[in-house]
Amino acid sequence: MSYSISIERTSALKQKPDFSQLGFGKYFTDHMFIVEYDDGEGWHDARIVPYQPISLDPAAKVFHYGQTVFEGMKAYKDAEGKVALFRPFKNLQRLNRSNDRLSIPAIDEGLALEALKQLVTIDESWIPTEEGTSLYIRPFVISTQAALGVSPSEKYLFMIIMSPVGAYYREGINPVSIYVEPQYVRAVPGGVGNAKTGGNYASGLKAQEEASDKGYSQVLWLDGVHRKYIEEVGSMNVFFKLADKVVTPALSGSILDGVTRDSVIQLLKYWNIEVEERAISIDELVEAYRNGTLEEAFGTGTAAVISPVGELNWQGERLILNGGQTGPLAAKLYGFVTGVQRGAVEDPFGWLLKL
Chain residues that interact with a copy of itself, rule: CB under 8 A: 23-26, 28, 32, 51-59, 62-68, 70, 101-103, 136, 138, 140, 142, 146-152, 159, 161, 163, 183-192, 197-206, 208-209, 224-225, 227, 234-235
The rounded radius of gyration (Å) of the Cα atoms in the chain is: 21
* Nearest-approach distance from CB 202 to a copy of itself, in angstroms: 4
* Nearest-approach distance from CB 71 to a copy of itself, in angstroms: 10
Judge contact between 329 and 297, C-beta under 8 A: no
Q: Report the distance separating Cα 196 and Cα 97, nearest Å.
A: 9
Closer Cβ to a copy of itself, 53 or 316, answer by number:
53
Closer Cβ to a copy of itself, 163 or 341, answer by number:
163
User: Between β-strands 237-242 and 245-249, what pairing exists: parallel, antiparallel or unpaired?
Assistant: antiparallel
* Nearest-approach distance from CB 54 to a copy of itself, in angstroms: 6
Judge contact between 349 and 276, C-beta under 8 A: no
* Residue 120 phi, psi dihedral angles, 5° rounding: -65, -40
Judge contact between 148 and 177, C-beta under 8 A: no
Q: Report the distance separating Cα 33 and Cα 46, nearest Å.
A: 7
* Nearest-approach distance from CB 188 to a copy of itself, in angstroms: 4
Closer Cβ to a copy of itself, 52 or 270, answer by number:
52
Q: Report the distance separating Cα 305 and Cα 336, nearest Å.
A: 11
For the chain, give the number of residues.
Answer: 355
Closer Cβ to a copy of itself, 35 or 246, answer by number:
35
Closest CA to 233 of 313, 323, 292, 349: 313
* Nearest-approach distance from CB 267 to a copy of itself, in angstroms: 26
* Nearest-approach distance from CB 206 to a copy of itself, in angstroms: 5
Closer Cβ to a copy of itself, 116 or 321, answer by number:
116
Q: Cα–chain-centroid distance for residue 330?
A: 18
* Nearest-approach distance from CB 283 to a copy of itself, in angstroms: 19
Judge contact between 339 and 345, C-beta under 8 A: yes
Closer Cβ to a copy of itself, 203 or 325, answer by number:
203
Q: Report the distance separating Cα 141 and Cα 143, nearest Å.
A: 7
* 113 DSSP 8-state letter: H
* Nearest-approach distance from CB 208 to a copy of itself, in angstroms: 7
Closer Cβ to a copy of itself, 146 or 250, answer by number:
146
Closer Cβ to a copy of itself, 162 or 280, answer by number:
162
Closest CA to 39 of 139, 199, 197, 151: 151
